[in-house]
Amino acid sequence: MLKLRRFLKNYKKELILGPFFKLLEAIFELIVPIVMSKMIDNGITQNDKPYIWKMSIIMVILGVCGLGFALTCQYFAAKCAYGFGTELREALYKHINSLSHSEIDKFGTSSLITRMTNDTMLVQNGVNMFIRLAVRAPFLIIGATVMSMLIDVKLSLIVIGSSLMMVGAIALVRKKTLPMFKNIQKGLDKLSLLTREALDGVRVIRAFSKQKQETDKQLDENRRLAKACVSAGRVSAILSPLTFMIMNLGAAAIMWFGGIRADAGDITQGEMTAFVNYMNQLLLVLIVLSNLIVIFSRASSSAARINEVFETLPSIDNGSTVKADTDKPAVQFENVSFKYPGASEDSLSSISFTLEKGETLGIIGSTGSGKSTLVNLIPRFYDVTKGCINIFGINIKEYDMTALRSMIGYVPQKAVLFSGTIRDNMKWARPDATDNEIISALKTAQAWEFVKKMPNGINSHVSQGGKNLSGGQRQRITIARALVGAPPIVIFDDSMSALDFLSDSELRKAIKNDLSESTVIMISQRASTLKNADNIIVLDDGVSAGQGTHEELLESCEEYREIYSSQTN
Partner 1 sequence: MFKVILRILKYSKPYKLSLIGAVIFSFIGVLLSLFVPVLIGKGVDVMIGKGKVDLAKLFQICLILALTVVTSSSFQWFSSLATNRLSYNTIRDIRKDYFLKLGIVPLKFIDKNTRGELISRAVNDIETVSDGLLQGFTQLFSGLVTIIGTLVFMMTVNVRIALIVMILTPLSLFTAAIITKLSHDSFVKQSEMRGRMSSFTEEMIGNQKVVKAFCYEDRAMEEFSKINKALKKSGIRSVFFSSMTNPTTRFVNGIIYAAVGTAGAFSAVGAAGFLGVMTKGQLSSFLLYSNQYTKPFNEISGVVTELQNAAACAERVFSVIDSEPEPSDENKPVLKAADGTVSIKDLSFSYQPDKPLIHDFSLDVKRSGQKIAIVGPTGCGKTTIINLLLRFYDADSGTISISDTDIKTVTRDSLRSCFGMVLQDTWLFAGTIAENIAYGKENATIEEITDAAKAAHAHSFIKRLPNGYDTIIDEEGGGLSQGQKQLISIARIMLTDPPMLILDEATSNIDIRTEQRIQRAFEKLMNGRTSFVIAHRLSTIKNADMILVMRDGNIIEQGDHYDLIAQNGFYKKLYMSQFE
Please list every residue from 228 through 257 that binds partner 1, using CB under 8 A: 229-230, 233-234, 237-238, 240-242, 244-245, 248-249, 251-253, 255-256
User: Closest approach of Cβ 333 to partner 1, in Å?
Assistant: 19
Residue 442 is which amino acid?
A: L
Q: Of 265, 320, 344, 453, which one interacts with partner 1 (CB under 8 A)?
A: 265
Q: Helix (H, G, I), strand (E, B), or coil: what is residue 534?
A: coil
| Binding characters for partner 1, 123-152, by CB under 8 A (x = yes) | -----x---x--------------------
What is the C-alpha separation between 256 and 254, in angstroms, rounded?
6
User: Closest approach of Cβ 469 to partner 1, in Å?
Assistant: 10
Q: Is there a contact between 267 and 258 (Cβ–Cβ < 8 Å)? A: yes
Single out the segment in contact with partner 1 by CB under 8 A; choices: 76-84, 289-297, 386-394, 450-458: 76-84
What is the C-alpha separation between 110 and 98, in angstroms, rounded?
17
Residues 478-517 touching partner 1, rule: CB under 8 A, are: 494, 497-506, 509
What is the C-alpha separation between 366 and 343, in angstroms, rounded?
20
Residues 409-468 touching partner 1, rule: CB under 8 A, are: 410, 412, 416, 418-419, 428-429, 431, 464-465
What is the C-alpha separation between 411 and 427, in angstroms, rounded?
14
Sort strands 360-365 and 535-540 into parallel, antiparallel or unpaired: parallel
User: Closest approach of Cβ 334 to partner 1, in Å?
Assistant: 23
Q: Is there a contact between 273 and 37 (Cβ–Cβ < 8 Å)? A: yes
| Binding characters for partner 1, 78-117, by CB under 8 A (x = yes) | xx-xxx-xx--xx--xx-xxx-xx--x----xx-xx--xx
Residues 382-411 touching partner 1, rule: CB under 8 A, are: 401-402, 405-406, 408, 410
Residues 36-55 touching partner 1, rule: CB under 8 A, are: 36, 39-40, 43-44, 47, 49, 52-53, 55
Nearer to partner 1, 147 or 429 (CB): 429
Q: Looking at residue 541, what DSSP letter applies?
A: T
Angle (deg, nearest 10), helices 501-514 and 471-483: 10
The 10 Å Cβ neighbour count of residue 414 is: 11
Phi and psi at residue 343, in whole multiples of 5°?
-80, 155
Indicate whether 25 belongs to the interface with partner 1 (CB under 8 A): yes
The 10 Å Cβ neighbour count of residue 543 is: 15
Q: Is there a contact between 499 and 377 (Cβ–Cβ < 8 Å)? A: no
Q: How far apart are the first and last CA of the chain?
A: 64
User: Closest approach of Cβ 521 to partner 1, in Å?
Assistant: 14
Q: Of 62, 167, 486, 510, which one interacts with partner 1 (CB under 8 A)?
A: 62
Residue 207 is which amino acid?
A: A
Q: Of 142, 150, 260, 322, which one interacts with partner 1 (CB under 8 A)?
A: 260
Residues 315-374 touching partner 1, rule: CB under 8 A, are: 365-369
Nearer to partner 1, 346 or 494 (CB): 494
| Binding characters for partner 1, 173-192, by CB under 8 A (x = yes) | ---------------x--xx
